[in-house]
Amino acid sequence: MTDQLPPQPTTPLLPAGSPAEPLVVPTTEPAKRRLSPLVAGVLGLTVGAAVVGGAWAVTSNSGPSKPATFTLKGNFALTDSVYTDPDDDSCRGSADSGYDDIAEGTSVTVYGAKGDVIATSSLGKSKSDEMGVTCTFKIAVPDVPMGEKFYKVEVSHRGTVQLSAKQAENGELAASLG
């Protein structure tokens, strides 16, 4: 055994003040690609639409709810100048009497206590009495807002009939013309 070490390779010393060169290690990571402007725009629109849609979905269910409503029901009777169809007992106002605007489908308007229109519908099925003197129409006006002190109901342009809130909500409309 000897006390001597084998010769070692030497690295040259850099002169004082010179920068050391960094060691370059090859990378295996692929180079990053940038998105094209078109793809970036479509991606931005999609994300923006999702955010707006989500916010709309959350807030649309948290707003004030619609007021409670009811269906105003009752009957309207024409007691003068009635024409009855002999095939099905349906009836309407006679054309030569001035009541020709009273028939199935004629407008029914509901007014609130302030006089504003709050619901509309039309006369429903009609039925003539046995004598053919009275023609009675069914009335059903959906989505009438609750909470009015009273309601006024008008068939065609023939004036209004006033009902209390309780009468209207209980389906107690009974009006006549003739």
Q: Exposure string (b/e) for 56-92, b if CB count within 10 Å is 16 or more?
A: eeeeeeeeeeeeeebebbbbbbbebbbbbeeeeebbb
Domain check: are 141 and 53 in the same one?
A: no
Residue 55 lies in a domain: yes
Looking at the structure of the chain, the number of domains it has is 2
Q: What is the mean pLDDT of the chain?
A: 83
pTM above threshold 0.95? no
Comparing 41 with 129, the larger pLDDT belongs to 129
Residue 46 has pLDDT above 80, yes or no: yes
Q: What is the pLDDT of residue 114?
A: 94
Residue 49's pLDDT band, with cuts at 50, 70 and 90, is confident
Domain check: are 51 and 109 in the same one?
A: no
Do 148 and 162 form a contact (C-beta atoms < 8 A)?
A: no
Could you report the per-residue pLDDT of 77-94, keeping only the tens digit for each? Answer: 999 989 988 888 899 998
Q: What is the pLDDT of residue 24?
A: 57
Nearest to 104 by CA among 137, 144, 70: 137
Domain check: are 51 and 73 in the same one?
A: no
Domain check: are 96 and 43 in the same one?
A: no
Q: What is the mean pLDDT of residues 152-169?
A: 94
Neighbours of 158 (CB within 10 A): 15
Among the three residues 14, 43, 65, which one is the final residue of a domain in this structure?
65
Q: 172 is in which domain, residue-wise?
A: 69-177
User: In angstroms, rounded to a whole number, what is the distance separating the alpha carbons of residues 157 and 79?
Assistant: 17
